[in-house]
Chain A
Amino acid sequence: MTVINNALYKPSLPLAQKSLPYLKKIPNNSPLWVKKTRKKKFLFFVAMFIVVAIAIIPSVLAENKGLEEVEKELGQNVEDKLDELNLSELEDYFNNMQEGSLSTWGSVKAFVKQVIKGDFQGGYNDFFKASVTALGKSALDTLPSLLSIVAIAILFSILSNMSSNFVHKSTNEIIYFVCFSAIAVILLGKVVSLIMMTGNTIKGMQRLMELVFPVMLTLITSLGGVITVSAYQPMMAVISTGVVGVITSFIMPCFIATVVLSVVGNLSPSVKLEKLNKFFRSTGEVVLGLMFSLFMTFVTLQGITGAIADSISVKSAKFAISSYVPILGGYLSEGFDLILASIVLIKNSLGLAGVIIMLTVILMPVLKITVFTLGVKLVSGLIEPIGDKRMSDFISTLGSNMRMLIVAILAVSFMFFIMIMLVIYTCNMGV
């Protein structure tokens, strides 16, 4: 079908240019043309007569087509196009992703079909259930370690009060050291797993986008959105290598630095590293924010302008078909619309599927980190009155630094989200 589409699309432009002298609207027709016009005119009309004669039977039939017929044809178009798409890698990715309760879909293709038919309703419920289970799971995961931190802090306060009558403060200090180390070991164990999870999530999102975008770009190309594709393709390269690279090689090390600095800075009362800690945190946030806003601006501008240029060229092609192919042109242009509409439908529902899969990918990590952050803040509040000040400082700093991980995941997912949404909202030719 794509071949027919292109065949319709490409010759229509020279036809439009050649037919312009008939309209006498654009003055740049050459005098050579006028001389040759009569002969050509005659030949042209003969050819047209034959074409019309051939076309009259199907067109009469087409006139009798009802709305249902058209819908059926659209559905058939969609099915054909969907079967032609190669989604096997995306399906593999989807099947490997077991977290979340998206098992009701079956496969990506089935989901796309569901959306196209308008049967897609279970999304909210599924999501709600998935998030509640994820929330419970992550709370259960973090609870034991948080409780043992509180217990260690209580133990420390009892022991340090018991031994506060030591002449030398060093014994008290070493008890603090031991308790702090124990707390730090418990917390850092959790943090390491969260860092790894964040890295894996970002890589997973990158992989997902590498699977979804080529398919969507192919669909846009078949819609005639050549300029849009040429605008999106470099963006895709930038986002999947540049942005993800910056996050994994700059933002994550910044976060790790803040974690290490907060451990070392609170280990002894003489070493103060709070400001350095803040520096790393704000550097990470500033870089992320700058990159984010720059990217957003460029993506939106390029995407929209490219899409407008494409929609003009597609519209002119359509106009050319409908006005310069006599009699048959109207039908052809409507058929053109129908084909475009079916591709647009597939593109948009595939985009929706991509967004929902991405949300499921980030749901668990974001909830886990959020629960951990909140729990850590609660613990730091609980041990502030009983434990040492440095202890609660360490825990609360760690809690506020965890924000960087969430921001990293959310930034990448939001960029991808914007990209998909742009692809969905632009290049909706013939709709």
Chain B
Amino acid sequence: MDIFRVIGIGLLGAIIALMLKQSRSEFSMLAVLATGVIILIIILNSLSEVIVAFNKIVIKSGISQELFTGLIKIIGVGYVTEYGASMCDDLGCGSISKKIHLAGKIGIFLMALPIVMALIDIIGEIVKL
């Protein structure tokens, strides 16, 4: 990941948005969105490297692959939700951003459900003893 590229694109996007705000304010929001998408695309490549590195740790430690995948998915869903919600905030739609957050939370909960169920099962088993 080239951090200077990200900073450059970010600054450029911010300046363009600022300039557009005075002349054509309806396009300024689109410029902000575009900057965000470009930065996301740049990060994506490095993010996959991070996940591969985590995977190596997981294989070495012998944790079950399912758990790790679940965790990564949860974090991914969290990031995407955060991203989409903040974009909606940028566009001035706070209520939509809240709804995206809600959807994200429900999605995360659904993903965490198997592990939680396993925990509840084992507690039930212990109580039965």
Binary interface encoding of chain B residues 65-82 relative to chain A, with 1 for a CB under 8 A from any of its CBs, else 0: 001101100110011011
Partner of A191, one of B63, B104, B126: B126
- Secondary structure type dominating chain A contacts: helix
Give chain B's interface residue range (CB within 8 Å of chain A).
Answer: 20 to 34
- Is B91 at the interface (CB under 8 A from chain A)? no
- Is A147 at the interface (CB under 8 A from chain B)? yes
- Is A233 at the interface (CB under 8 A from chain B)? no
In the assembled complex, how far is the CB of residue A389 from the closest CB belonging to chain B, in whole angstroms?
19
Binary interface encoding of chain B residues 11-34 relative to chain A, with 1 for a CB under 8 A from any of its CBs, else 0: 000000000000000000000000
Contact, CB under 8 Å: B118 / A195: no
Given the known inter-chain contacts A155-B63, A171-B108, please indicate yes or no for A178 contacting B70, CB distance below 8 A.
Answer: yes
Given the known inter-chain contacts A163-B75, A167-B82, A167-B86, please indicate yes or no for A148 contacting B118, CB distance below 8 A.
Answer: no
- Is A346 at the interface (CB under 8 A from chain B)? no
Contact, CB under 8 Å: B123 / A260: yes
Contact, CB under 8 Å: B75 / A179: no
- Is B57 at the interface (CB under 8 A from chain A)? yes
Binary interface encoding of chain B residues 116-129 relative to chain A, with 1 for a CB under 8 A from any of its CBs, else 0: 10110011011101
Partner of B127, one of A152, A159, A163, A256: A256
- Is A184 at the interface (CB under 8 A from chain B)? yes
Nearest A-chain residue to B122, judged by Cβ: A188
Binary interface encoding of chain A residues 65-103 relative to chain B, with 1 for a CB under 8 A from any of its CBs, else 0: 000000000000000000000000000000000000000
Contact, CB under 8 Å: A196 / B129: yes
- Expressed in whole angstroms, the Cα–Cα distance for A174 and B108 within the complex equals 8
- Is B115 at the interface (CB under 8 A from chain A)? yes
Contact, CB under 8 Å: A177 / B75: no
In the assembled complex, how far is the CB of residue B95 from the closest CB belonging to chain A, in whole angstroms?
16
Contact, CB under 8 Å: B116 / A147: no
Cβ contacts under 8 Å, B62 to chain A: 144, 147-148, 151
- Is A192 at the interface (CB under 8 A from chain B)? yes
Cβ contacts under 8 Å, B122 to chain A: 184-185, 188-189, 192
- Expressed in whole angstroms, the Cα–Cα distance for A150 and B62 within the complex equals 11
Contact, CB under 8 Å: A152 / B109: no
Contact, CB under 8 Å: B123 / A178: no
Nearest A-chain residue to B119, judged by Cβ: A181
With an 8 Å Cβ cutoff, the count of chain A residues facing the other chain is 39
Partner of B74, one of A152, A174, A199, A256: A174
- Expressed in whole angstroms, the Cα–Cα distance for A147 and B125 within the complex equals 24
Cβ contacts under 8 Å, A195 to chain B: 126, 129
Contact, CB under 8 Å: B115 / A181: yes
Cβ contacts under 8 Å, B67 to chain A: 152, 178, 182
Contact, CB under 8 Å: A260 / B116: no
- Expressed in whole angstroms, the Cα–Cα distance for A184 and B117 within the complex equals 12
Contact, CB under 8 Å: A263 / B74: no
Contact, CB under 8 Å: A181 / B116: yes
Contact, CB under 8 Å: B105 / A170: yes
Cβ contacts under 8 Å, B115 to chain A: 178, 181-182, 185
- A residues apposed to B, CB below 8 Å: 144, 147-148, 150-152, 154-155, 158-159, 162-163, 166-168, 170-171, 174-175, 177-179, 181-182, 184-185, 188-189, 191-192, 195-196, 199, 252, 256, 259-260, 263-264
- B residues apposed to A, CB below 8 Å: 54, 57-58, 61-63, 67-68, 70-71, 74-75, 78-79, 81-82, 85-86, 101, 104-105, 108-109, 112, 115-116, 118-119, 122-123, 125-127, 129
Q: 13 A-B Cβ contacts within 8 A?
A: A162-B75, A171-B78, A171-B104, A175-B75, A178-B70, A178-B71, A178-B112, A181-B118, A181-B119, A188-B126, A192-B122, A192-B126, A199-B129
